[in-house]
Amino acid sequence: MGYQFIEWDQGWDYIQKGITKLKRIVQGLSEPQFNSEEYMRLYTTIYNMCIQKHPHNYSRQLYDKYRETFEEYITSTVLPSVIEKHGECMLQEFVKCWENHKIMIRWLSRFFSFLDDYYIAQNHTSYPGLNEVGLNCFRNMVYQKVNANVRFAVLVLIGKEREGEQIDRALLKNVIDIFVEIGMGQMDAYEEDFEGYMLIDTRDYYSHKASRWIWEDTYTNYMLKAEECLRRERDRVSHYLHPSSEKKLVENVKHWLVVVNVTQLIKKKHSDSGSSAWLTVDNVEELSRKFIANVILEQQVPAQGSALVQPAEDAAMQE
């Protein structure tokens, strides 16, 4: 690779032109893609600026400019485009900005890759790598500011789906994936910023439903509704929630539909059957065990019981 001495202003001016081109591409503006020659010239410019002797070694300045490039772009373009929108439109913009940001990271980290390979790897191992720098910028400047609004919009859509409305499940999956990806290998962001609130929302929803169904429905209809609710919650996990949420979600629904109301369910069962049998603690435990084991606990509606599916779905939709 040929060496050419480069002054800071000369080199950074050329790099900025490449960054401007990348921004236009990411934004979908009329701009041709980078060809191999353009890529190599940008890489070579940065490489040469990093191997020059002090005081013309610009490795640290380029590392700082790499981060500042993301910060400036987020401040001027990304954040305003997200916060000005609401509801589902905000979710769509949030996903779009995240995908564009990952493209920016992928290309800029290639142009500046000598910093990863040499400046950080050999001299400053405590510094975040280029990929981490880019992700941190989005997390600190976008995600931290909007994740509460994003979560609220997601929970509104889940609530609508629970009430029978059609929603954009693919959009929800893309949004929820961001809660996972932003953790960079850890689940803290997903669990603390989304899952915990989702479980509280689930508790409130099914606690309210149970308080109505327990008085309005027969024992059989209540059980059908409970079974259908569990089936649908598992379906949500399979389509857009993270798999790690399934057990917590199922236990949550079991608790508020069954465990909390088990004594009333036993009374309702005996009342519906006309039995006056004495209700003992053993009766309560037996019903709880049987119901959880046979209807709620990790069980889908059996194929041979398909005739029950439609009545169950209809019952679950009744107010």
From 145, 160, 180, give the residue that closes a domain.
Answer: 145
Backbone angles phi, psi at 279, to 5 degrees: -90, 115
Residues 27 and 141 in one domain: yes
How far is 204 from 210, CA to CA, in rounded Å? 10
How far is 12 from 24, CA to CA, in rounded Å? 18
> Structure tokens of 319?
């107010």
Residues 131 and 215 in one domain: no
pLDDT at position 268, please?
79
Per the structure, the count of domains in the chain is: 2
Residues 218 and 141 in one domain: no
- CB contact burial 194-227 (16+ within 10 A = b; e otherwise): bbeebbebbeebbeebbeebbeebebebbbbbbb
Residue 289 lies in a domain: yes
pLDDT at position 195, please?
98
Residue 159 lies in a domain: no
Residue 199 amino acid letter:
L
Q: Does residue 72 or residue 291 have the better pLDDT?
A: 72
Q: Are 20 and 88 in contact (CB under 8 A)?
A: no
Residue 190 lies in a domain: no
The CA-atom distances, in angstroms, between 281 and each of 72, 262, 313 are 66, 11, 32
Q: Tens digits of per-residue pLDDT, 164-185?
A: 999 999 999 999 999 999 998 8
Per-residue pLDDT averaged across 115-130, rounded?
Answer: 86
Per-residue pLDDT averaged across 251-270, rounded?
Answer: 86
Domain hosting 290: range is 206-317
Q: Residue 2 above 90 pLDDT?
A: no
Per-residue confidence band for 223, with pLDDT thresholds at 50, 70 and 90: confident
Q: Does residue 303 or residue 6 have the better pLDDT?
A: 6
Residues 22 and 97 in one domain: yes
Residue 13 lies in a domain: yes
pLDDT at position 175, please?
98
Judged on CB neighbours under 10 Å (0-12, 13-18, 19+), 157 is buried
> In the chain, what are the helix, strand and coil shares in percent, each to the nearest 5?
80, 0, 20
Residue 173 lies in a domain: no
pLDDT at position 102, please?
97
Q: Tens digits of per-residue pLDDT, 46-92?
A: 999 999 888 889 999 999 999 999 999 999 999 999 999 999 999 99
Q: Which CATH number does the domain housing residue 40 bear?
A: 1.20.1310.10
Q: Does residue 299 or residue 91 have the better pLDDT?
A: 91
The predicted model scores a pTM of: 0.83
Per-residue pLDDT averaged across 199-212, rounded?
Answer: 96
Residues 257 and 136 in one domain: no
Q: Does residue 278 or residue 227 have the better pLDDT?
A: 227
From 129, 145, 161, give the residue that closes a domain.
Answer: 145
Q: Residue 297 above 60 pLDDT?
A: no
Q: Residue 150 above 90 pLDDT?
A: yes
DSSP string, 233-268: HHHHHHHTS-GGGHHHHHHHHHHHHTGGGHHHHHHH
Q: Residue 131 above 50 pLDDT?
A: yes
Residues 133 and 257 in one domain: no
Residue 152 lies in a domain: no
Residue 234 lies in a domain: yes
Residues 219 and 105 in one domain: no
Residues 220 and 308 in one domain: yes
Residues 220 and 113 in one domain: no
Residues 140 and 215 in one domain: no
Q: Are 268 and 214 in contact (CB under 8 A)?
A: yes
Residue 76 lies in a domain: yes
Residues 215 and 288 in one domain: yes
From 125, 145, 165, give the residue that closes a domain.
Answer: 145
